[in-house]
Amino acid sequence: MRTLLLVSLLVPLLSAGCVGKRKFNDMESNYNETYKDLNQTRTERDRLADDLRTARADITALKRRLSTATEQLEELERQLKSERAQKSELLKTRAQLNASIEEMTRALGELAERKAQAEERIREFRDLLGRFQELIDAGRLKVRIIDGRMVVQLATDVLFSSGSASLSAEGRKAIREVAEVFAEIPDRRFQVEGHTDDVPIRTERFPSNWELASARALTVLREMLEAGLPPQRVSAASYGEFDPVAPNRTPQGKAQNRRIQIVVVPDLDSLPGTEELQRISSDD
């Protein structure tokens, strides 16, 4: 093929005239060089084409890997977002649990404090019962828990004559015995309450049951002071007929309502919430 090409090129030259051998050889040499360069060019082109095909294949593979990596990255981002949301929810739940634990701890502390207070009040009540046992057995008084308060009840029929605020001899003795017991109970205050039945009284000294109940309560208070109870620890109040313990329809009910109650005043400082109330009142 190459020889035929060379001949086809030289024939016109030979027909045109005689060509020197050296010139022919130069032309042949140039042709060979040109052919060689052409072959090298073709080889280089083929190699570049192969490199291009390889590069394109690599690019395609890289695109696939990039697509896979992008999908993996998106999945990791979704997982990270989900984990962050779970962590946030866990932190929120943890905070709520800590708050619940703190609240339960406070509640248990308050419960334990109330239990201790209740046990102390039970102990005081039993102690009071023991101190007044002889008077209770003699039927001269009763010890009750009323509205959460320890109360010593004395029937006014034993202490006073009907419509009177003057203590009988038996009543004076009973009140002094009660006062002596109270004097032995430290750090407690007492309130003497006067109560009547619903039978109205209208005298110059006692225009109503309010005045009668008040006078009887003050009479008992003075007798307790004379028995040695410090005046800072005792007070008096009148309820008239408006705080009955039994219906006034029967003589027995009326007799129960005619009474003197001596209340052991609770220690308000020991009640739950007292400190907070004091703080609020001091802020005002």
Phi, psi of 263 (to 5 degrees): -95, 130
Q: What's the confidence (pLDDT) of residue 11?
A: 55
Alpha-carbon separation of residue 183 from 23, 126, 225, 227 (angstroms): 154, 17, 10, 9
Q: What's the confidence (pLDDT) of residue 48?
A: 84
When mean pLDDT is compared across 25-34, 105-114, 122-131, 244-253, the lowest value belongs to 25-34
Give the pLDDT band (50/70/90) at residue 139.
Answer: confident
What integer best gives the mean pLDDT of the chain?
A: 86
What is the token pair recorded at 13?
A: 């030259």
When mean pLDDT is compared across 10-19, 57-66, 233-242, the lowest value belongs to 10-19
User: Could you report the per-residue pLDDT of 185-212, keeping only the tens digit for each?
Assistant: 888 999 999 999 999 999 999 999 999 9
Residue 168 above 80 pLDDT? yes
Q: What's the confidence (pLDDT) of residue 94?
A: 86
Adjacent-strand bridge partners of 237: 193
When mean pLDDT is compared across 20-24, 186-190, 258-262, 271-275, the lowest value belongs to 271-275
Give the pLDDT band (50/70/90) at residue 222.
Answer: very high
What is the token pair recorded at 37?
A: 């360069």
Cα torsion at 164, 239, 175, 149 (round to 10°)? 170
Give the pLDDT band (50/70/90) at residue 242.
Answer: very high
Phi, psi of 190 (to 5 degrees): -135, 140
Q: What's the confidence (pLDDT) of residue 23?
A: 77
**Interval 165-182 mean pLDDT:** 94
When mean pLDDT is compared across 114-123, 225-234, 273-282, the lowest value belongs to 273-282
Sort 235 into a burial class: Cβ within 10 Å, 0-12 / 13-18 / 19+.
middle
Sort 227 into a burial class: Cβ within 10 Å, 0-12 / 13-18 / 19+.
middle
Adjacent-strand bridge partners of 263: 151, 191
Q: What's the confidence (pLDDT) of residue 281?
A: 47
Residue 275 above 60 pLDDT? no
User: Could you report the per-residue pLDDT of 62-119, keeping only the tens digit for each?
Assistant: 888 888 888 888 888 888 888 888 888 888 888 888 888 988 898 989 889 888 878 8
The b/e string for 129-163 (b: 16+ C-beta within 10 A; e otherwise) is: eebbeebeeeebbebeeeeeebbbbbbbebbbeee
Beta strands in 74-207 (DSSP E): 142-146, 149-155, 189-195
In three-state secondary structure terms, 237 is strand
Q: How far apart are CA 155 and CA 137, in angstroms?
A: 15
Q: Which has more confidence, 275 or 204?
A: 204
| Residue among 221, 148, 212, 216 nearest 178 (CA) | 221
When mean pLDDT is compared across 51-65, 133-147, 174-188, 268-282, the lowest value belongs to 268-282
Pairing of strands 234-240, 259-265: unpaired
Torsion sign, CA atoms 4, 10, 15, 18 = negative
Q: What region does 140 belong to: left with phi over 0, alpha with psi -120 to 50, or beta?
A: alpha
Give the pLDDT band (50/70/90) at residue 267.
Answer: low
